[in-house]
Amino acid sequence: MRKVLVAGAIWLASVFGAHAQNTSPVVIELFTSQGCSSCPPADAFLHKLAKRDDVIALGWHVDIWDYIGWKDEFADADYTERQRDYARAAGARSIYTPQMIVGGVDHVIGHRPVETADLLMKHKAATSPVSLTVTRKGDKIDIKGSTTKPTSMVVQLVRYSPENDVSISRGENAGRKLSYANVVTAHEVVRRWNGNSPLDTSVTATGDDPVVILIQRTGHREILAAAQLN
């Protein structure tokens, strides 16, 4: 049995190699596309973040650039809709790639490591009211949680493939072989939770892809807790 205990919005001390002072992970979501010429630097940055124990890095491939000559083999319309939901929550009218979402609330357009580090430091000052414990026995994932501040939340399961190399023959990145970290392969809502009683549920996760559990405020807002099982 593998077990992790984590509690929500936390930080990455520095994206330039300094040792983090907190071992709990912060969730960083990169919305990217193989058809986007501006995305490779952000994709490379996600590789660095994915190697850290204090980060849960997720690469969501969107399909908005598939029409320009290269269809992203990892893209899913549902992932594009997730990015749109984030935009709506932030009051934005459009979506872009690359874009990073930190902790479910802070948006970074483009490849901006310094800005990302500053946002993560801001998350350091926040304390999540949610605690989360995730354990695994074979294909069964048990999820338990509690909160001191009940609110409307969504419990989600995310699976990802740690590393994928792709040779691109058409589109804006034609002729390049690119490497992608933590490519999201599946996403599902496990259940809704209002926090009035403890969370105690389970979900089946087959296969070798790592498992991530997210507890997020309804409406694509704060990620209040997250746990990862490799």
Which residue did the predictor score with more confidence, 204 or 6? 204
Q: What is the 3-state secondary structure (H, E, C) of 28-41?
A: EEEEECCCCCCCHH
What is the model's pLDDT at position 123? 76
What average pLDDT does the segment 206-229 reach? 95
Number of domains composing the chain:
1
What is the model's pLDDT at position 127? 86
Does pLDDT of 16 surpass 60?
no
**What pTM does this model have?**
0.88
pLDDT band of 1, cuts 50, 70, 90: very low
The domain spanning residue 219 has which CATH number?
Answer: 3.40.30.10
Tens of pLDDT along 95-140?
999 999 999 999 999 999 999 988 877 876 778 999 999 999 999 9
Burial class (CB in 10 A: 0-12, 13-18, 19+), 35: buried
Tell me the torsion sign for CA atoms 114, 165, 71, 209: negative
Tens of pLDDT along 39-62?
999 999 999 999 988 889 999 999
What is the model's pLDDT at position 24? 63
Which residue did the predictor score with more confidence, 1 or 86? 86
Tens of pLDDT along 138-175?
999 999 999 999 999 999 999 999 999 999 999 999 99
What is the model's pLDDT at position 219? 94
Q: Which amino acid is at 62?
A: V
What is the model's pLDDT at position 143? 98
Highest averaged pLDDT of the listed ranges 6-10, 14-18, 24-28, 171-175? 171-175
Helix (H, G, I), strand (E, B) or coil at 57: strand
Does pLDDT of 92 surpass 70?
yes
What is the model's pLDDT at position 126? 79
Q: How far is CA 209 from CA 126, 134, 202, in A?
A: 31, 16, 17
For residue 36, the enclosing domain spans 2-229
Report residue 48 as tokens: 């660095």
What is the model's pLDDT at position 230? 86
**Rg of the Cα atoms in the chain:** 17
Does pLDDT of 17 surpass 60?
no
